Amino acid sequence: MATGTLLTVGSQFASPAVAGAHPTQVNNDVHAAAPLPADMAALTALPEVDAALDQLAAAQHLLPTLPTPDPTPAPEASQVPTPQPAPDPAPSPAPAPAAPWNVPPLAVMAPPTSPQPLAVAPVSGTLTSPFGPRWGTTHAGLDIANNIGTPVYAAAAGTVINSGPASGFGLWVQIRHDDGSTTTYGHINETLVAVGQQVQAGEQIATVGNRGQSTGPHLHFETTDSNGMKVDPIQWLAARGVAEADLARV
């Protein structure tokens, strides 16, 4: 075998064919173990090390073989819900309106009205003839001149007892009052009331005219007491609140 050839497991050794050659004597010292280095020899010479190694080897044979634990399965990925947008907060309720003040309505005061007069002047105009003697006779009333159509008023409240044509007056209206006295309105142009009608003081009942025995447009106004006796209209009116000064303006 040439020097430097590698030997492997299974390699065959063959002796060279040399005529008359004898087998070579093998030196038994070849199988002797090669001496260990000094440091390794010192270690193997320690009895404690040998004993520890023996115990470790024995323990490895005695320990039971533990089964390989199954790998811990990875936790399944939990399905994370998709976050939903938060609902809008409910609107705060509007504050309740303040209770209205219970202010009682102001009482509507009716404008003051003048009390119903007890009596009024029967017409506006000019006094042309008073009550009393005239032309050798008695003039039983007042003559108050004004234009035809001027309003004539009831001198006091009462009931119409005559309305229409009358001898000497042409046309007239006569009223009986609550105290039994009467008033007469003659020479009128027209009458505005009927017999039996109730009238109030100051209510229009006719218009000034020139009918009958008349010398010009005027109202002839007469009054009687409760006994039917003719009396001065100025005194009759004065007794019912119409002053003589007011008649002076008639």
Question: Is residue 181 in some structural domain?
Answer: yes
3 state DSSP class of 86: coil
CA nearest to 179, candidates 155, 205, 196, 152: 155
pLDDT in tens, 207-249: 999 999 998 999 999 999 999 999 999 999 999 988 766 665 5
Question: Is residue 37 in some structural domain?
Answer: no
Instruction: Please tell me the distance from the alpha carbon of residue 117 to that of residue 200, in angstroms, as a whole number.
Output: 9
Higher pLDDT: 57 or 109? It is 109
Query: What are the tokens at 10?
Result: 């299974």
Give me the domain span that covers residue 193: 142-244
pTM: 0.54
Question: Is residue 160 in some structural domain?
Answer: yes
The pLDDT, as a whole number, for residue 70 is 64
- Least confident piece of the model among 2-6, 142-146, 201-205: 2-6
Buried b / exposed e across 164-201, counting CB within 10 Å, b at 16+? eebeebbbbbbbbbeeebbbbbbbbbebbbeeebebeb
CATH code assigned at 233: 2.70.70.10
Instruction: Please tell me the distance from the alpha carbon of residue 158 to that of residue 172, in angstroms, as a whole number.
Output: 16
The pLDDT, as a whole number, for residue 5 is 45
Name 199's bridge partners. Answer: 158
Query: What are the tokens at 165?
Result: 């044509």
Question: Which amino acid does the sequence have at 121?
Answer: A
Q: How large a percentage of the chain has pLDDT more than 90?
A: 44
The owner of tokens 């159509």 is 149
The total of structural domains in the chain comes to 1
Question: Is residue 174 in some structural domain?
Answer: yes
Higher pLDDT: 71 or 123? It is 123
CB 205 within 8 A of CB 153: yes
CB 185 within 8 A of CB 212: no
Question: Is residue 79 in some structural domain?
Answer: no
Q: Give mean pLDDT, residues 143-149.
A: 96
3 state DSSP class of 217: coil
Q: Would you place residue 92 in the very low, low, confident or very high pLDDT band (cuts 50, 70, 90)?
A: confident
Question: Is residue 201 in some structural domain?
Answer: yes
Instruction: Please tell me the distance from the alpha carbon of residue 207 to that of residue 220, in angstroms, as a whole number.
Output: 12
Question: Is residue 52 in some structural domain?
Answer: no
pLDDT in tens, 53-86: 566 655 555 555 555 666 666 666 556 667 677 7
Question: Is residue 159 in some structural domain?
Answer: yes
* 62 DSSP 8-state letter: H
